[in-house]
Amino acid sequence: MTLAQKLISQGINNFVAKTNAKENLDEAFIDGGKGVLLPELTEEEVKNEHRNKFALKDLEYPNLQLIICKKGKVAGNNDKKGVMPEDKMVFIDGVDGCEPCVTLRLNNLKKGEYFVLYRPDFKPFHTVKRINVVFYSEFYGKKSASELKSMQLKSNASRNHVG
């Protein structure tokens, strides 16, 4: 390439750069090396951008196992008469899956000692390893002593009632 050709090509490149700069007054955001001009983001979009990048990834979740057991006495046919059966752990329900969250709902629980067993199968590439446990129960306002006594009498009467 001759000196004249180099000067001409340099002049053309400078002209194109100036023209592009005038046409594209928006800031160019880095987008992973694709070289595409992205529109300017609002403050809310900037806050949510990291969440969206994470949400669009193809993720492999660990296998999570959740088991609910209850401690109590279990009567069996082989128990000796006059001897109280021993406390045993009894399986109530369980769930497992390769999901971000496993949920287990138990209705009509009786009072007693319950145990929650949780076993995640984390791999070395799982960087976030945590457990968030939430227990819900129905809310009732605090009862006075007389209200508690009347509720107890009603429940005893319904248990003793033969229909």
Per residue in 31-45, pLDDT tens?
455 555 556 777 777
In terms of C-beta distances under 8 Å and separation of at least 24 residues, what long-range contacts does 53-60 make, across chains too?
59/100, 60/98, 60/123, 60/125
Segment among 69-78, 103-112, 116-125 with least mean pLDDT: 69-78
Final residue before a domain boundary, out of 18, 35, 55? 55
User: What's the pTM value of the predicted model, to 2 decimals?
Assistant: 0.47
CA 66 to each of CA 48, 103, 131: distance values in angstroms, whole numbers, following the listed order: 31, 8, 11
- Which of 15-19, 36-40, 113-117 has maximum average pLDDT? 113-117
DSSP-derived pairing of the beta strands 63-73 and 113-121: antiparallel
Domain that holds residue 69: 63-137
For the segment 77-95, what is each residue's pLDDT rounded down to a tens digit?
A: 565 666 667 788 889 999 9
pLDDT at residue 53 in the model: 67
Residue 132: is its pLDDT beyond 60?
A: yes
For the segment 35-78, what is each residue's pLDDT rounded down to a tens digit?
A: 555 567 777 777 777 666 666 566 788 898 999 999 988 766 56
Give me the chain's average pLDDT, please: 77
Q: What is the DSSP string of 53-100?
A: HHHTS---PPEEEEEEEEEEE---TTPPTTSPPPEEEEEEEEEEESSS
The more confidently predicted of residues 106 and 16 is: 106
The H or E element containing residue 160 is: helix 145-160
One domain, residues 102 and 77: yes
> How many other CB atoms are there within 10 angstroms of residue 117's CB atom?
12
Q: Is residue 147 part of a domain?
A: no
pLDDT band at 29 (very low <50, low <70, confident <90, very high): very low
pLDDT band at 30 (very low <50, low <70, confident <90, very high): very low
One domain, residues 115 and 131: yes
Please count the structural domains in the chain. 2
pLDDT at residue 115 in the model: 92
The more confidently predicted of residues 43 and 146 is: 146
* Token pair 């009603």 in the structure block, residue: 154
The more confidently predicted of residues 24 and 159 is: 159
Q: Is residue 150 part of a domain?
A: no
Longest dimension (CA), the chain: 113
Q: Is 162 helix (H, G, I), strand (E, B) or coil?
A: coil
One domain, residues 28 and 84: no
